[in-house]
Amino acid sequence: MIALGCDHGGYPLMKEVIKYLEKEGIEYKNFGTFSEESCDYPVYAKLAANAVASGECDKGILICGTGIGISITANKIKGIRCALCHDCFSAKATRQHNDANMLAMGARVVGPGLAVEIVKDFLNTEFSNEERHIRRIKQIED
C-alpha cells in the first residue's frame, strides 16, 4: 500500500502519478489534498508520513511545488527516510543505499513523463541489504 500526499502545487502531478498506479493495479491510500485550492503542505506530508511510519503503508509518495517543503516535513517523523528525487539514478540509488521509504518530487520541477519513470524506479528497486548501508541507516536513527 502506497501512501500519497500533496499540496495544491503538487496536485496536478499527483493526478498523473495516480493514473500510473491505477494502470499498474498498485494499491494506494490518498491522504490529499484533493484540489488546486491553496493549502499547507505540512498537513498532508504528516498524514502520509505517519501512515508509513506506523506500518499502515509500505512506502509513500509526496508532491509539492518543489518537493522541498513536503520532504523536509516528512523527514521530521521518526522512521521516515524521504528522498527528494528529480532523476531516475537518485530514485534507484536511494532505494539501494538509503532504503528510502518515501519519495518526494516537485511538480514545478519535473514533468509527468519523467515523474512516472522516477516513481517506477523508486517502487521497483530493492534495498541492497549490504552491511555498510544497514549500518549507516541505523546511524541516522541513533
Quote the cell numbers at residue 7: 499540496
Of 42, 30, 23, nearest to 1 by C-alpha is: 30
Map the footprint of ligand RB5 across residues 78-137, applying CB under 6 A.
none
Q: By C-beta, is 45 or 95 nearer to ligand RB5? A: 45
Cβ-based nearer residue to ligand RB5, 68 or 137: 68
Cβ distance 9 to 68 under 8 Å?
no
d(CA 78, CA 88): 26
Q: Would you say 125 and 23 are in contact if contact means Cβ atoms under 8 Å apart?
A: no
Q: Is residue 50 near ligand RB5 by the rule CB under 6 A? A: no
Catalytic annotation on 86?
A: no
Choose one: 17-25, 50-58, 64-72, 116-124; the region binding ligand RB5 (CB under 6 A): 64-72
Cβ contacts of 137 within 8 Å, gap of 6 or more: 81, 98, 99
Instruction: Select which of 57, 64, 82, 85 is catalytic.
Output: 64
The residue sitting closest to ligand RB5, measured at its beta carbon, is: 69
Closer to ligand RB5 by Cβ: residue 1 or 68: 68
Q: Is 41 in the site for ligand RB5 (CB under 6 A)?
A: yes
66 makes contact with ligand RB5 (CB under 6 A)? yes
Instruction: Give the single-character DSSP code of 78.
Output: T
Which residue numbers are catalytic? 64, 97
